[in-house]
């Protein structure tokens, strides 16, 4: 395919997959349970951080955590006492355990005591082409405020060449606006978003000639961004739906 054929094909697939039916079996269903901005942010952050493995398991583990947060994540985060934090004991999802969740809750509690939205953590004046500095800044907030060393593995940093798939997915949810994504963050342009590159989207992107690099690291993300922005410079990451859908639902090779 040439560039125009790629665009027509992927535009069609975006429209096919970016519908409300996509939400039902995707981790984005977790923040879709809420209407308050901060609830959406917190539920979305945990669902994205947990997005490792089978989608059904990710969804079940996210629901488990929400029940421990009294299904009111913002209220729990704002006022959780040491006694209330005991509800997190026994939680585990892969390498993410109760200590990690507790650390996240305490960091969020500290943040929301002085701020209205997590969006501010991702805004960096040096970011003109992507959110590389904002992603680093997000991690540094947690690191500088005492997150456990073991928990840092769940906070990817593109300056360490991490593809930051899960946090890029969270950003897509918060910044873009369509039938699936929320678009509740208004101060970050969708043009700056990067594709949440994973095994499925990476395989399809390489098959289509949109990506040559073999590793799914930050250098690959930057390469894929260039290809996607040629097709839509204002909303390039809408094609994540197309790449993911082709890989997961159609077995595209």
CA-nearest of 229, 3, 28, 241 to 130 is 229
Q: How many helices (H) and strands (E) does the chain have?
A: 11, 2
Q: Is the distance from CB of 31 to CB of 182 less than 8 angstroms?
A: yes
Residue 164 has a pLDDT of: 98
Rounded Cα distance, 148 and 164, in Å: 19
Regions in the chain scoring below 50 on pLDDT: none
Question: CA 169: distance to chain centroid?
Answer: 3
Residue 251 has a pLDDT of: 86
**Cβ-based neighbours of 113, under 8 Å, separated by 6 or more:** 78
Rounded Cα distance, 243 and 249, in Å: 10
Structure tokens at 52: 């490792």
| Location of structure tokens 């089978």 | 54
Cα-based distances in Å from 88 to 79, 80, 112, 192: 15, 11, 20, 35
Residue 75 has a pLDDT of: 98
Q: Is the whole-model pTM more than 0.95?
A: yes
Residue 2 has a pLDDT of: 74
Residue 128 has a pLDDT of: 96
Residue 3 has a pLDDT of: 76
CA angle 40, 43, 49 (to 5 degrees): 125
């Amino acid at each position: 395919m040439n560039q125009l054929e790629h665009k027509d094909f992927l535009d069609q697939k975006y429209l096919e997959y970016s519908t409300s039916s996509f939400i039902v079996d995707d981790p984005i269903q977790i923040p879709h349970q809420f209407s308050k901005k901060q609830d959406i942010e917190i539920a979305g952050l945990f669902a994205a951080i947990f997005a490792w493995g089978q989608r059904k398991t990710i969804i079940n583990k996210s629901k488990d955590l929400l029940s421990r947060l009294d299904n009111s994540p913002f209220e729990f985060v704002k006022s959780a006492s040491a006694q209330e934090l005991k509800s997190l004991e026994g939680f585990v999802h892969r390498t993410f355990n109760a200590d990690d969740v507790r650390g996240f809750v305490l960091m969020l509690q500290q943040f929301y005591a002085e701020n209205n939205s997590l969006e501010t953590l991702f805004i960096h004046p040096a970011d003109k082409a992507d959110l590389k500095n904002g992603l680093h800044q997000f991690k540094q907030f947690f690191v500088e405020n005492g997150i456990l060393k073991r928990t840092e593995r769940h906070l990817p940093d593109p300056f360490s060449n991490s593809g930051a798939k899960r946090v890029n997915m969270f950003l897509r949810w918060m910044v873009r606006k369509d039938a699936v994504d929320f678009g509740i963050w208004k101060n970050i342009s969708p043009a700056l978003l990067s594709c949440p590159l994973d095994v499925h989207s990476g395989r399809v992107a390489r098959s289509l000639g949109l990506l040559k690099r073999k590793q799914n690291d930050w250098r690959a993300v930057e390469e894929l961004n260039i290809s996607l922005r040629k097709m839509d410079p204002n909303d390039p990451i809408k094609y994540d739906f197309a790449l993911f859908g082709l890989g997961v639902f159609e077995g595209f090779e």
